Structure formats: structure tokens, C-alpha cells
Amino acid sequence: MRIVLTFLLGLSLITASLAPASAQSAADEPEKAKQFLSALADNAFSVWQDPSLTEAEREKKFQSLLLEGFHVDYIARLVLGRYTRQASDEQFRRYLDVFPQYTVTVISNRLGEYGNEKVTINETAPAGPRGDLYIRSTIVRPDAEDVLADWRVRKVGDEFKIIDVKLEGISMVRTQREDFQQKISQDGIDGLIDYLSDQAGVTEAADGNGAQKTSQASN
């Protein structure tokens, strides 16, 4: 379960909806929402334990799980905050392209930092007027105090998606937004994108002027 915890918390540390509200919200199906979270955790655990996977293959599968379980575009917009409107179309495209890869890289780098933690899924509670649902859980740590984690889940079409995680009441999306906005205030939107690309170890496609963005540190 430590890898399950690492996967889910890693996403939360990275990590207005574009999708229309579905006829049936997450709050209407609490048991199915809990099953969704459990299945996502099980899949993450299976990927990490598969000895046949190379590091690149494992990261690719983690990215697929990220896109499957989290409302990535929504989280990316929330994290960018007011700069979503200030970014050019090209800047925003580049940001959305690198955000999932950055998230997966951070998760991979954090693997092994956790011990024998276990996640116990508890009750659910309504979250906001859109029919979202908090899935409350306890992260049990043998050598430290337990941590309370609330996973905010939304029904998008026919699927459940995680849109935020609160650890001891602190929103991880809000925390990441503050970090990103500080980076933008120092280096601008392009500086943030270069930083994310560098951390993810990716090379961006050529931009409109034919310039090739490489994964070199922006500093």
C-alpha cells in the first residue's frame, strides 16, 4: 500500500470544469465512488509491483492512470489560476502538454520515500453545490501520527474523477497554485513552463516561430 499512497499523494501534490454537469452526481453514488478510488489504488499498486516494466514503461502507465483517475485539465486550470486568462494560446497549450508529464515525474521521484503506510477508506460527505463528494480516508503510518485525507471526487460524464485532495484540511491544489504563481511572478509564464519541462525531462515540440524548447534549466 505504500506505493498506492505515494501514487495518490504524488498526484495530489501536483495536482470552472469544462464538462457539463452529469445527470447523476458523485454524491448520488457514494459506494461507486469509493470503489473507484479503491480500484485506482489497486491499479497503481499493480503497476509498481510489475517487475517486467522498464522505468519508462512504468511512467507511461502511471500517466495513463493519472489521466484516468484525475480531472487533469481541470486541476491544471485551477493550479494556474488567474494566469489561465493571461497566458497566450500557445503558452496554455504548452502548459497543458507538460503538466501531466511533470506530475508523473514528481510521483516517480517520490517513490520509495514512504514506509509501510496504509490507506483506510472511511465515510463520504457531500462537497459543494455541483454534487461533488469527499471520500474521507485515514493514512495509517506505523512510526508517525495518522493523517486524514479527503479526496474530492466529481462525476464527469459517466466517470468519476478526482479534482482535489485535502491533507489535514489543507487543499493540495491550493498549495500547488501558490507555488506556481510564485514561480510565474519571478520568471513569467514561459519560465514556469520551462521549469515544468526541465523537471519532467521532456523536450517540447517546436513553437510557432520554429524554436525548439529543450529540457534545460530555465536558470
Q: Does residue 72 lie within any of the structural domains?
A: yes
> Is position 213 within any domain?
no
Task: Look at residue 109 in the predicted model and tell me its pLDDT.
Answer: 61
82 domain residue, yes or no: yes
Mean pLDDT for the chain? 78
Specify the CATH number for the domain of residue 91: 3.10.450.710
pLDDT digits 0-9 by tens, 78-100: 999 999 999 999 999 999 999 98
At 2, list the grid cell: 505504500
Q: Which pTM does this prediction carry?
A: 0.73
Examine residue 24 and state whether it is found in any structural domain, yes or no: yes
Domain count for the chain, please give it: 1
In a domain, 154, yes or no: yes
The domain containing residue 158 runs over which residues? 2-200
Cβ burial, residue 32 (10 Å; 0-12/13-18/19+): middle
Place of cell 454534487: 131
Q: Is residue 73 part of a domain?
A: yes
C-alpha cell at 116: 509501510
The whole-number pLDDT of residue 49 equals 75
Query: By mean pLDDT, which of 15-19, 60-64, 145-149, 192-196 is the weakest?
Result: 15-19
Domain assignment present for residue 194? The answer is yes
In a domain, 35, yes or no: yes
